[in-house]
């Protein structure tokens, strides 16, 4: 099987990993520099302070991969991030069959919106080719936690959304 392969990226205060293969077969451990973070064992990590974070991924056979310091992601201070990128997703939580709306800073042009489930599978994708008003997004997902990724000309922002049954 070999060490896990995939990718890792930062969006604002959240670090995400997307692993090639069945995510249920992997375990995760996040680190701040060389120190393991207690309880940080999900496929994503929400940073509460600025720092340099790494991830160790282990498959069911015990093969591990640590994303090396060259792949280390340093988060911005949370205040600086929020000043530059004000994205709101509402309502949140949202009921299945309802609509969500995005609110963005003036002048921000959205190019693509994607929604991923907790294991990184894409459940929704919409490419936007104009600067027109964003239309509400109908949510036809099962109850659970999802991540909505908003790509603009200058950044990628990811927000957690909770879908509830009607």
CATH of the domain at 31: 2.60.40.10
- pLDDT of amino acid 124: 92
pLDDT at residue 47 greater than cutoff 50: yes
- Would you say residue 1 lies in a domain? no
Tell whether the model's pLDDT for residue 166 goes beyond 80.
Answer: no
Q: Encode pLDDT of 95-132 as tens digits.
A: 988 999 887 777 777 888 989 887 778 899 988 865 55
Of 23-27, 33-37, 149-153, 157-161, the least confident: 23-27
Domain boundary among 78, 113, 135: 78
Instruction: Tell me: do 12 and 68 sit in the same domain.
Output: yes
Pairing outcome for strands 144-152 and 110-117: antiparallel
Neighbours of 73 (CB within 10 A): 18
Q: Do 109 and 103 meet the contact criterion of CB atoms below 8 Å apart?
A: no
pTM: 0.53
Query: How many domains in the chain?
Result: 2
Same domain membership, residue 89 and residue 36: no
The owner of tokens 């701040």 is 32
């Amino acid at each position: 099987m070999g060490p896990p392969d995939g990718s890792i990226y930062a969006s604002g205060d959240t670090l995400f990993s997307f692993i090639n293969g069945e995510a249920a077969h992997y375990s995760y451990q996040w680190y701040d520099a060389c120190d393991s973070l207690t309880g940080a064992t999900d496929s994503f990590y929400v940073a509460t302070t600025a720092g340099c974070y790494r991830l160790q991924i282990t498959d069911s056979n015990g093969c591990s991969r640590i994303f090396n310091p060259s792949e280390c992601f340093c988060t911005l201070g949370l205040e600086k991030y929020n000043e530059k990128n004000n994205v709101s997703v509402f309502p949140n939580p949202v009921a299945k069959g309802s609509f969500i709306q995005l609110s963005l800073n003036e002048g921000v042009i959205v190019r693509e919106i994607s929604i991923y489930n907790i294991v990184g599978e894409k459940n929704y994708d919409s490419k936007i080719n104009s600067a027109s008003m964003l239309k509400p997004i109908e949510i036809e997902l099962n109850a659970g936690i999802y991540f909505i990724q908003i790509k603009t000309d200058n950044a990628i922002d990811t927000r957690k959304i909770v879908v509830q049954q009607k």
